[in-house]
Amino acid sequence: MKKDIFNIIVPSNCHGYRIDKFLQSQINELSRTRLQTLIRDGQVKLNNIIINSTSKKIKEADQIKVNFPPAKETFIKPNKIPLNILYDDNDIIVINKLPGIVVHPGAGNYEKTIVNGLLYKYRDNLSSVGGKLRPGIVHRIDKDTSGVIVVAKNDTAHINLSQQFSNHTIKRTYEALVWGSLKPQSGKIREKISRSVKNRQLMAVRKEKGKMAITNYKTLKIFQNLNLPKISLIECQLQTGRTHQIRVHMNFKGNPILGDKSYGKSKKKFKKIDPKIENQINDFNRQALHAKNLGFLHPRTRKEVFFEARRPEDFDRLIKTLKKASI
């Protein structure tokens, strides 16, 4: 695989940034650790001069070049897993990810991830930008979230898609079931998100710190009767893509996603309801969140493409159960 190069001119609003932090904001889904390794390995040039300092401050109009060498041989074991491919060409793969599957290997999950499945099917025909643990991975969704993701087959496609994510031009729509009814029923949430001070593995709305996160939402259906607390089917469009953004924003609004064990209520007791229906609601053992569609400019043709993923069976069954219970 040939070496690819990422070029960017530093805009005025990033004057004074550390180079590693700036690059992390521009190259989606590349960890700061990976970027720092590239810098230390002499793969980054600032105004055509190789730098090795990860804390180097940059100025407006500086030119930065990042070289992405071919990925070293990976020791991630290929696994044959269902990928549910929606689209596949020479540059991209679009997948409808099933719930319960991790996107890429990490602590405690080194097999049967999307990456393991991609290596089984595509071998070396994946981008190297994400390193040996994330070949082809441009973005990700949570393990227990289902829906559409795009994978890059080459570094040029990966860099192009990453820039679209960084520029917030990607169109992303999610469906979710949340407790209660949102007020107003349609609106925009603009709240900064950063690591929780109580649990560093989780995210939280923090007014003074964090990155701005914007979620547009609208209510599609409210399920309720005398023996069933309100549960709403909503649609969310992301203007930004922060970690756990929808889950954090909905919990902040007081309408946590049904089944979310980390952000809100996991189970609910009902006063009078058919036990079978109550069990189906309480036994939905993950957050009821589905990445419904994804739209972007194709990295080669520059034409707009749009992909939609059907809800998984458990999500559809739950909606049917709620419709029945609310009659």
Helices within 88-178 (DSSP H only) = 114-122, 155-166
Under DSSP, the state recorded for 153 is S
Single-letter code of the amino acid located at 139: H
Phi/psi at 121 (nearest 5 deg)? -85, -40
Q: How many CB atoms lie within 10 A of CB 10?
A: 20
Yes or no: say if 212 and 240 are a contact pair by the CB < 8 Å rule: yes
CB 237 within 8 A of CB 172: yes
The β-bridge relationship of strands 85-88 and 92-97 is antiparallel
The Cα 91–Cα 148 span in angstroms is: 17
DSSP 232-273: EEEEEEESS--TTHHHHHHHHHT-PBTT-SSSS-S----SS-
Measured in whole angstroms, the distance separating CA 240 from the mean position of its chain's CA atoms is 10
Catalytic residues: 142
Asked if residues 295 and 314 have their Cβ atoms less than 8 Å apart, the reply is no
CB 110 within 8 A of CB 140: no
